[in-house]
Chain A
Amino acid sequence: MGEYKYQLASFALFDYKGVETHLEKMAAKGWRFDQIGSFAWRFRKAEPARVKYSVTYVPEASEFDPEPLEKQKEMEEYCEAAGREKAGSWMQMQIFCSETPEAVPIETDELLRLEIIKKSMKKNFLFSHLLLLLVFLMNAFTQFQIASGNWLEFLADSSRLWNFAIWFLGIFYLLFDVAYYWNWLKKAEKEAKEGRACPAPRLYRTLSRIFLGILAAVVLGLFCSYNRNMVLFMMIYLIGIVLIILLLRKVQKTLKKQGMSKTGNWILTIVADVVLVVSLLGGLTAVVLKSGIHLDGEKEPVSVYEVLGREWKVYNEEIPLRIEDFMAAEYEASSCEAEETSSILLRLGEYNQKLFTDSVVLGMQYEVITVKVKCLYDFCLNAFFEKEFRHSSREEREKTEFRVVYETEQAKFHRVYYDGVPMAHDWLLLTENKIIPMTLYLEDLTEEQMEKIIKKFSD
């Protein structure tokens, strides 16, 4: 076993009792609290011992102070006189230890203790949480705005759904954190007025861990929804972010050592943060652009076909319905293209097929919107019409009709009419779970052909 042990910091700043108890348990197991790093608390191997840890707060203290405040130093002297040594600090939290069990506690007035905890929380926790909440809400709102522009694309895109879940979880966690503190504070105030110790927020660590577990699962879900190139991009990005956090901690410490003022250190660290994040994002984007890597995945034509002097790219992709499936066609070459996205809620496929002869190009293009969750069908159908008429005037909307031209038990085939006249190419097929708008550059469909198409999509 190594000299050091690291543990993820999942304590709330106000949970002094939790910190004290945990550090005492670790010391009893032979791990002395050593220092607090960017992500974890470090423990040093030592002989198991009964060490009494005491936590107090200096609301004015900051991680950016060039050296401990005069107040912190004075407090340390008071504590030393009472037989307690400084073990470390975490933001406003000051941690002391003593191997003399009978040493007087650092705080002997519960109301006063609560008062300084409240001051410390107001300065650090509430401010940062409200700021983050604002950023998260703005982001969730922007995503909602973009999603509402095309719900079908949003619902069929796993990565966007997972992404939205991450922001949603973030908002939920911040609200939970503030509510938990608020609830604890009310209880603690009641206890302190009776002269009793503030209650330990028992469930906090467990709930935080459960939340982190869920978050990790959602991030994993997000990664699984990406293609290989995007996973690589995100991995590099995440490693970059971790390195930036470590580097910023180093910058902050170096500036501190050089005696930079609190404000100076704060400003320079923020500037360094912005510069590093922009450089990381810019650098990665530049690499992606220069190398010609497609984050969406690449698509190469299998050949090129020339019709009347124009070149057409030929693809050979799997599509659910080919022209040959419902009508006899003569052609010299055929190109099939498919683009699909899918999530647990929806599958969205865009397909097209072109048939080439010496002098003509025939073809069709269609979308297949497969609703995987039945209750979303009507919502998706509405979203489809919204998308179709996005750029149409009210008059155009009113003049457009979808007339049922053929129906079976499983499906209804519609033809699109405008102002009472059938449109040359536009059809809409609705099945129990599919919405299939089709544009056919072919002759009008016969009932027999429609039945064949329905059968194909019912398989």
Chain B
Amino acid sequence: MPREKFQTLTEQMFYILLCLKEECCGIDIMSRVEEMTKGRVRVGPGTLYNLLEQFQSADFIKETKVEGRKRSYILLEKGQEMLWEEYERLKVLTQDFERLFDNE
């Protein structure tokens, strides 16, 4: 079940979805993620390809155009919700951390 599968996002999933806030060609995502994270997160081509396929079937993203074998995608509402959920989850983690360490 896609929903169950993406209950939490891995860093790679998070950044791929983040890249697709604006329409982007699949191949370019690899370099964008690397730029965005200053090389901290790298997405392998096999992983990227399979994740894009899974995101598409879970309606997180949709294909916008096909030029030759180059496919472009954009984030859908469901994908955006997923990103927000993850963002909120990370925020709670950060707040808990800050609360604990600020009190010290």
A-side interface residues toward B, CB under 8 Å? Answer: 56, 70-71, 73-75, 77-79, 81-82, 84, 104-109, 112-113, 115-116
Contact = CB atoms under 8 A, between A and B. Distances in A.
Contacts of B12: 108-109
Contacts, number: 62
Interface in B27-44: 27, 30, 42-44
Contacts of A73: 69
A88 to B, nearest CB: 16
Contacts of B30: 78, 81-82, 104
B69 A56 contact: no
21 contacts: A71-B49, A75-B45, A75-B46, A77-B27, A77-B70, A78-B27, A78-B46, A82-B45, A104-B30, A104-B43, A104-B44, A106-B44, A106-B47, A107-B46, A108-B42, A108-B47, A109-B12, A109-B44, A112-B47, A112-B51, A113-B46
Interface residues of B, number: 18
A112 B50 contact: yes
B48 A78 contact: yes
Interface of B: 10, 12, 26-27, 30, 42-51, 69-71
A106 B45 contact: yes
A220 to B, nearest CB: 44
Nearest to B53: A71
A81 B45 contact: yes
Nearest to B42: A104
A107 B10 CA distance: 14
Contact of A74 (B44, B47, B51, B69): B69
A74 B71 contact: yes
Nearest to A77: B69
Nearest to B50: A112
Nearest to B13: A109
B47 to A, nearest CB: 5
Contact of B27 (A70, A81, A84, A109): A81
Given A75-B49, A108-B42, 6 more contacts: A81-B27, A84-B45, A106-B45, A107-B44, A112-B51, A115-B50
Contacts of B49: 71, 74-75, 78
